[in-house]
């Protein structure tokens, strides 16, 4: 028996002889030598794709407001060296240099409270988000969280002292709410503030390590001031969470006395945001630095508030978070637009495999499987654009009466749209193959940036808040025996919709069926959720614990509520247009949105809203819609209005961008 070593040598020799004989058979007709062929050439998709509707009109519908402001800021970015322009494949692109270190990435409008001013701020934030998420987070923290807290919680003395300096960046603000031991549970934060009536000062203290302020954007390097959320103790009695202004650095960037700050460290993304940790060692601040629109403390130490219910007071202190949810929802859709524009443009020029030897390779987007992975996400993104436009209008026209509805809708949309964004980014990255892994393609960067934001960490908490609010509305309507009013539940005042036993293509595409099936699912899940909570209570559970035990139904309910609200906003946007090519395409997108929601949600089969046969019809309809939307793919992503410079080289001439000459350039 041969030794292992000699056996291995024999195998190597055998393989070498086989290869040698094979390579020497050059005269054998069965062996075809490699022959040169015409190299792949980039062909702009505009040469072959037809635009069957007015792209400019579609863009105006999607952007909804402040078109000139968007174009102005994008143009400014493309012309300025501040935004890192680079040449690739014969085009100029602008994006941060993500190969820089964390430290390099960190270098680098509040007084107008009219409706036009509010809309303009949100528009410009959208544009900044298209360029760089880190920059948009830094701006958002400064203006919307720090500045928004002063606007919401402060009174005239705070507005006069702080807003103009914030607008002019004379002070740089951050928002110290979350702690090492408490993130979503703000009510449980451990930072303590007491009042010293002898000096007329508040004293802020971090009593333990878990009370350190954590993940505070802007704190590690640049912020000079912060809004501190803290438990307020007056004469030994805890009055709950309140907000204070505290200085943490002087104008030269030096740390203030009794303040300790540390960097949260390198992250997988968003390293342009200097997330920091803050400890307060009995820091003294003037009494006037309490943001006192909700509650105040008199010079002699008396606690004063017109809101007597502690729960209502606490809810009032969470108001600035609404602006954050609105911005995150909008930013998530911006990110989805960018990723789809890149992936779809690439799939319209990249070919792979041929049906037969005599025919050219097939464009990626001409494969049904590629259409199936991208076009439903495109339809969902369109639907969510209209929902973001609706949310923006509700936000800028908010009143005390609409604040509850705004909180519920913004919570639902923020969770749904960030989940959608994460899925879209992953699918688009995979659809671009190896090119999707490069940082200059930005898809991976967008995904890790999203992973570093708060949205995904708290989405399930937000969805349960939405369901609890819907449950409270349901119970209240039952007790009052009055119609539903508010939160978009008015559809439950009528009879329950009836779904046809057999669903044809024309029925599936009818607006009546689409609204009926979504409303039926929502009202049924709300009743199931209420019944489930009631059953747990009947078994001796508290209401709060009963809701927790019903969390699966709670999350499902919040999701279907959000999907129905999105469909409602899509329908309202569609009906504003007269018949024509643009409305026809909107109809296809709306139907695709509905069909993909029907296909992906198991509750339609679980609870019998759809039969197995009708579910199969829905699945078949999705593929038909993919083929019908395929001719419009380029025009639909072009309608996003994102300049070429904000996309990626692979969205254009990816051959030239990877050429040898580009290496030397």
Residue 224 or residue 358, greater confidence: 224
Does some domain include residue 71? no
Shortest CA distance to 378 belongs to which of 348, 352, 409, 411? 348
Structure tokens at 215: 């993940």
Q: What are phi and psi of 413, to 5 degrees?
A: -65, -40
Helix (H) or strand (E) run with residue 282 in it: none
pLDDT above 80 (res 530) = yes
- The region of weakest confidence among 100-109, 309-318, 501-510 is 100-109
* pLDDT band of 27, cuts 50, 70, 90: very low
- Binding residue numbers for FAD: 178, 217
Instruction: Using alpha carbons, select from 293, 288, 320, 291 the residue that is nearest to residue 306.
Output: 293
Q: Within a domain: residue 255?
A: yes
Residue predicted with more confidence, 231 or 83: 231
In a domain? residue 664: no
% helix, strand, coil for the chain, step of 5: 60, 10, 30
Place of tokens 């964390």: 102
**Angle, vertex CA 582, rays to CA 579 and CA 586, nearest 5:** 95
The CATH number linked to 218 is: 2.40.110.10
In a domain, 128, yes or no: no
- The yes-or-no verdict on residue 124 having pLDDT over 80 is no
Sign of torsion, CA 132 137 140 143? Answer: negative
The rounded distance, in Å, linking the Cα atoms of 98 and 87 is: 16
Q: Six-digit token pair at 547?
A: 């809701």
pTM: 0.83
Task: List, for residues 126-180, the tens digit of each pLDDT value.
Answer: 777 777 878 888 888 998 899 989 988 999 999 999 999 998 889 999 999 999 9
Decide: 345 and 652 in contact? Cβ < 8 Å: yes
Residue 201 included in any domain: yes
Spatial contact of 368 and 626, defined as CB atoms under 8 Å apart: yes
| Cα distances (Å, whole numbers) of residue 249 to 107, 177, 252 | 17, 18, 8
- In terms of Cα–Cα distance, which of 336, 316, 449, 341 is closest to 387? 336
Higher pLDDT, 354 or 196: 196
Q: Quick check: is 556 in a domain?
A: no
pLDDT at 103 over 80: no
Q: CA-CA-CA-CA torsion for 56, 62, 64, 66, nearest 10 degrees?
A: -60
In the beta sheet, which residues pair with residue 280?
A: 259
The residue among 472 and 5 whose pLDDT is bigger is 472
How far, rounded to the nearest angstrom, does the alpha carbon of residue 390 sit from its chain's CA centroid? 16
Does the residue 279 lie in any domain? yes
51-54, Cβ contacts within 8 angstroms, sequence gap of 24 or more = 51/634, 51/635, 51/638, 52/581, 52/585, 52/631, 52/632, 52/635, 53/580, 53/581, 53/582, 53/584, 53/585, 53/632, 53/635, 54/581, 54/582
Binding site, by residue number, is 178, 217
CA distance 223 to 580: 52
Q: Per the domain annotation, does 288 fall within a domain?
A: yes
pLDDT over threshold 50, residue 318? yes
Per the structure, how many domains does the chain have?
A: 1
Provide the residue range defining the domain that includes 198.
172-313
Look up residue 504 and give its two tokens. 């044809």
């Amino acid at each position: 028996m041969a030794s292992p070593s000699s056996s291995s040598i024999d195998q190597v020799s055998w393989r070498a002889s086989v290869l040698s004989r094979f390579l020497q058979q050059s005269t054998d007709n069965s062996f075809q030598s490699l022959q040169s062929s015409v190299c792949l050439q980039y062909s702009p998709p505009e040469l072959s794709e037809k635009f069957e509707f007015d792209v400019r009109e579609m863009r105006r519908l999607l952007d909804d407001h402040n078109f000139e402001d968007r174009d102005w800021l994008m143009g400014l970015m493309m012309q300025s060296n501040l935004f890192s322009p680079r040449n690739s494949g014969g085009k100029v692109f602008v994006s941060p240099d993500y190969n820089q270190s964390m430290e390099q990435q960190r270098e680098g409008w509040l007084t107008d409270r009219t409706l036009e001013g509010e809309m303009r701020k949100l528009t410009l934030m959208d544009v900044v988000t298209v360029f760089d998420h880190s920059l948009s987070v830094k701006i958002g923290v400064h203006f919307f969280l720090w500045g928004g807290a002063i606007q919401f919680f402060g009174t005239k003395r705070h507005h006069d002292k702080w807003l103009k300096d914030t607008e002019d960046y004379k002070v740089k603000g951050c928002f110290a709410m979350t702690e090492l031991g408490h993130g979503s549970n703000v009510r449980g934060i451990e930072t303590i503030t007491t009042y010293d009536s002898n000096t007329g000062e508040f004293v802020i203290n971090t009593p333990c390590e878990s009370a350190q302020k954590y993940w505070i954007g802007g704190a590690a390097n640049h912020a000079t001031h912060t809004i501190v959320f803290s438990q307020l103790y007056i004469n030994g009695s805890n009055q709950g969470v309140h907000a204070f202004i505290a200085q943490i650095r002087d104008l030269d960037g030096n740390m203030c006395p009794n303040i300790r700050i540390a960097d949260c460290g390198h992250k997988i993304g968003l390293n342009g945001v200097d997330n920091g940790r803050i400890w307060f060692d009995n820091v003294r601040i003037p009494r006037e630095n309490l943001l006192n629109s909700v509650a105040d403390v008199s010079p002699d130490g008396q606690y004063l508030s017109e809101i007597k219910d502690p729960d209502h007071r606490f809810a009032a202190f969470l108001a600035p978070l609404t602006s954050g949810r609105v911005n995150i929802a909008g930013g998530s859709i911006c990110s989805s637009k960018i990723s789809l524009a890149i992936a779809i443009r690439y799939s319209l020029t990249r070919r792979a495999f041929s049906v037969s030897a005599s025919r050219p390779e097939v464009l990626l987007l001409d494969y049904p499987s590629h259409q199936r992975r991208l076009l439903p996400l495109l339809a969902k993104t369109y639907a969510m654009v209209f929902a973001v436009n609706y949310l923006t209008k509700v936000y800028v026209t908010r009143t005390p009466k609409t604040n509850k509805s705004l909180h519920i809708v913004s919570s639902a949309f923020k969770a749904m749209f960030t989940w959608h964004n994460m899925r879209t980014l992953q699918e688009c990255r995979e659809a671009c193959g190896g090119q999707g892994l490069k940082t200059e393609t930005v898809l991976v960067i967008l995904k890790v940036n999203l992973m570093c934001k708060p949205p995904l960490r708290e989405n399930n908490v937000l969805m349960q808040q939405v369901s609890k609010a819907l449950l409270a509305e349901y119970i209240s309507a039952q007790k009052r025996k009055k119609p539903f009013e508010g939160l978009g539940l008015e559809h439950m005042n009528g009879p329950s919709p009836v779904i046809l036993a057999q669903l044809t293509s024309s029925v599936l595409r009818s607006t009546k069926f689409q609204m009926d099936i979504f409303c039926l699912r929502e009202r049924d899940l709300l009743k199931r959720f209420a019944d489930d909570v009631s059953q747990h209570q009947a078994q001796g559970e508290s209401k709060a614990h009963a809701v927790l035990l019903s969390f699966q139904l709670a999350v499902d309910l919040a999701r279907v509520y959000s999907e129905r609200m999105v469909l409602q906003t899509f329908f309202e946007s569609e009906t504003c247009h007269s018949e024509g090519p643009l409305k026809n395409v909107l109809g296809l997108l709306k139907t695709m949105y509905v069909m993909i929601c029907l296909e992906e949600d198991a509750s339609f089969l679980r609870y019998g809203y759809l039969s197995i046969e009708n579910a199969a019809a829905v699945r078949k309809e999705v593929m038909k819609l993919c083929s019908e939307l395929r001719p419009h793919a380029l025009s639909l992503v072009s309608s996003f209005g994102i300049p070429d410079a904000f996309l990626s080289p692979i969205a254009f001439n990816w051959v030239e961008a990877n050429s040898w000459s580009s290496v030397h350039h």
